[in-house]
Amino acid sequence: MNDRLTTKEYWRQIWKGASLPVIENPEYDVQKIFDNTLPKSDKISLIEIGCAPGAWMAYFNKYFGYSVAGIEYVDDAAALTKRNMQIQGIRADVFNLDFFEADLDADSYDVVFSAGFIEHFEDLIGAVNKITILAKQYVVTVVPNLYGLNGFISKVIRPKVFYSHKRIDKNLLRHLHEESGLYTLFCDYVGGLQFIMPAAHTAFSDKNKRFAKTINMPFKIFNLISKTFSKYANVCPKTKFLSMSLMYIGEKT
C-alpha cells in the first residue's frame, strides 16, 4: 500500500527506548465494553495489526485467555514486541511483515484487533477490508479522536503528528466497517474526558524533556481525576469534543 501517512523512521522514534515489560491497562469503560462484548476462552485466537510493543497482545492473553499473534512492519518495533512477549512468558507469533503485502489466509484469526493503525493510511476502506478478510468472527478497531478540543490542540501544537493521521469520526468508523460486511456490536467514543499530551511526540519535547514534562503535568492531573471519577461514579461521557478515542467492535455475519 503506497498511501502511508507515516514512515518507518517515524515509528522507530515512537518506540525507541520503550520500557519493558508492558501490558495494556484499558480505560474503565473500554474494559467494561470488552467484558460485555467479547468471549473469554483459550480456544480463541487474536492477531494485532501494527502490534508494537505488544501491550494489547499481553492484555488479551492474560485477561481473556486468547492465543495471540501480531504483525509489525518496522524491524526494531517487531524485535521490541518479541522481547516483551518473552519477558512475560507469552507464546506469540510476531510477524515482521508489511500487513498489506503479507500472504495470510482469509478467516485466519477469531479476532483481528488494531489500535492506532487504520488512520495512518489514505485508503481507509482498503485497510478495513483487508482486516475484515483476515477475521473469522470479530473485528476490534481503536482510533484516536482528532476532532474537538484534542484535535485542535494536536493541529496547533504538533501539526506533524496531526497530519500523519486521517481524521475519523463515529459515523465514518461505523460506515467503513459495515461496508466491509460487519455487523456492528459497538461503535462510539471511549475513554471518558481526557486530554492528549500537548508536549509529546515532537522534536521540541524530545530535546526538552523536563520542560515538556512540566507542560504536560496539568493535563495528566486532569486525566487522572477524570479517570478516577469515571471508575467510581460509573460514568464515562462519550463526546466528540473531548473523548480520547473511538472504538468499533463488529462481528462477521
Q: CB-based burial of residue 241 (10 Å sphere; 0-12 exposed, 13-18 middle, 19+ buried)? A: middle
C-alpha cell at 187: 461503535
Asked, for residue 166, whether it belongs to a domain, the answer is yes
The pLDDT of residue 238 is: 87
Asked, for residue 206, whether it belongs to a domain, the answer is no
The pLDDT of residue 2 is: 59
Residue 104, domain CATH = 3.40.50.150
Residue type, 172: L
3-state SS string for 46-109: EEEECCCCCHHHHHHHHHHCCEEEEECCCHHHHHHHHHHHHHCCCCEEEECCCCCCCCCCCCCE
The pLDDT of residue 204 is: 65
Looking at the structure of the chain, the number of domains it has is: 1
pTM value is 0.93
Query: Beta strand pairing status for 109-115 and 135-144?
Result: parallel
Q: Under a CB-based contact definition with an 8 Å cutoff, are residues 10 and 164 in contact?
A: yes
Asked, for residue 184, whether it belongs to a domain, the answer is yes
Asked, for residue 231, whether it belongs to a domain, the answer is no
Asked, for residue 154, whether it belongs to a domain, the answer is no
The pLDDT of residue 109 is: 98
How many residues comprise the chain? 253
Asked, for residue 137, whether it belongs to a domain, the answer is yes
Asked, for residue 205, whether it belongs to a domain, the answer is no
List the domain range (segments joined by +) for residue 15. Answer: 8-146+162-193+245-252
Asked, for residue 228, whether it belongs to a domain, the answer is no
Written as tens digits, the pLDDT of the chain (253 aa) is 558 999 999 898 888 888 999 999 999 999 999 999 999 999 999 999 999 999 999 999 999 999 999 999 999 999 999 999 999 999 999 999 999 999 889 999 999 999 999 999 999 999 999 999 999 999 999 999 999 988 898 898 888 888 999 999 999 999 999 999 999 999 999 988 888 888 776 666 677 778 888 888 988 998 889 888 888 888 888 889 889 899 999 999 8
Contacts for 86 with CB less than 8 Å, ≥ 6 apart: none
The pLDDT of residue 161 is: 85
Q: Can the peptide bond before residue 159 be classed as cis, meaning omega within 30 degrees of 0?
A: no
The pLDDT of residue 23 is: 98
Helix (H, G, I), strand (E, B) or coil at 227: helix
Backbone angles phi, psi at 63, to 5 degrees: -105, -20
